[in-house]
């Protein structure tokens, strides 16, 4: 094999190991849009015959997130027997959490096991944002327990629940606001306190927003869905593992059962 052929093969080998991340992310977004029932046009801007449904959001997020995360519609419960409103799309731990309760098609998840909660609506609007905040508050108001975790060298101390805030947001296809970065939208999206604030909002055809402290960060144009998914996963990663729930706090109800 002559030197010219060797150099040519070497160049081809180098070229074959390159990976175009920009195109890969664009393809990933198209796949995610299709999962929501929204078809991207040549500009990557989606069109739709209808709205992305709750079920489609669940499927899309389940497909995107690592398998350690469960995604579904749930009721959150706490060790006092209190229950949240029904949550359209919840992201919860399914690797380390021992307690899940089923009643027909309904799923009840201990609040300690929940990472994030979302309301799925056809559009972003002031009314729907306020409705979503009320749903989110019904979960965040529940009591969360925390116990230490045994390891080879001893025990990790219980984690403070406040150090693992439950993320909240609203998922939509469109928006009623002319400009998602306009004054009316900003006022609505920055509303609420610790219990009912939104961390994320997305209108797939118009934009996506992440709230960090009292600032709003907006997705680049035509990248809103993949941007939202990546920012969400980044926030989930920072949370680490969910709280180790106190089984005794839940299990004391079993002790009330006495055999004759």
Check 51, 119, 199, 210 and give the catalytic one. Answer: 119
Number of DSSP helices (H) and strands (E) in the chain, helices first:
7, 15
- The whole-angstrom distance between residue 185's C-alpha and the CA centroid of its chain comes to 21
Please state, in angstroms and rounded to a whole number, the distance separating the CA atoms of residues 138 and 85: 6
Q: How would you class 171 by CB atoms within 10 Å of its CB: exposed for 0-12, middle for 13-18, buried for 19 or more?
A: buried
Does residue 121 carry a catalytic annotation? yes
User: Is position 54 annotated as part of the catalytic site?
Assistant: no
Distance CA 86, CA 63 (A): 22
User: Residue 10 and residue 25: Cα distance in Å, rounded?
Assistant: 28
Residue 88 appears among annotated catalytic residues:
yes
Q: Which of 54, 78, 88, 196 is catalytic?
A: 88
Catalytic residue among 112, 121, 206, 210: 121
Beta carbons within 8 Å of 74's beta carbon, 6+ residues apart? 86, 87, 90, 92, 107, 108, 109, 114
Active site residues: 88, 119, 121
């Amino acid at each position: 094999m002559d030197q010219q052929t060797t150099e040519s093969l070497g160049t081809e080998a180098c070229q074959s190991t390159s990976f175009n991340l920009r195109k890969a992310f664009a393809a990933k977004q198209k796949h995610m849009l299709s999962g929501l029932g929204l078809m991207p046009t040549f500009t990557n801007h989606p069109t739709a015959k209808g709205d992305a449904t709750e079920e489609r959001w669940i499927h899309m997020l389940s497909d995107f997130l690592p398998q350690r995360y469960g995604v579904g519609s749930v009721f959150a419960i706490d060790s006092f027997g209190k229950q949240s409103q029904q949550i359209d799309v919840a992201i919860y731990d399914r690797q380390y959490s021992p307690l899940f309760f089923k009643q027909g098609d309904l799923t009840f998840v201990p609040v300690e096991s929940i990472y994030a909660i979302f309301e799925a609506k056809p559009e972003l609007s002031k009314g729907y944002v306020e409705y979503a905040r009320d749903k989110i508050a019904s979960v965040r108001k529940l009591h969360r327990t925390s116990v230490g975790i045994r390891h080879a060298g001893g025990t990790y101390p219980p984690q403070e629940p406040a150090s693992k805030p439950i993320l909240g947001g609203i998922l939509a296809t469109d928006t009623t606001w002319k400009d998602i970065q306009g004054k009316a939208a900003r006022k609505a999206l920055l509303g609420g306190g610790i219990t009912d604030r939104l961390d994320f909002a997305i209108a797939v055809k118009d934009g996506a927003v992440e709230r960090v402290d009292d600032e709003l960060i907006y997705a680049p144009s035509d990248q809103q869905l993949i941007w939202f998914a990546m920012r969400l996963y980044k926030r989930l990663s920072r949370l680490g593992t969910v709280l180790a729930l106190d089984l005794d706090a839940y299990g004391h109800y079993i002790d009330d059962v006495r055999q004759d």
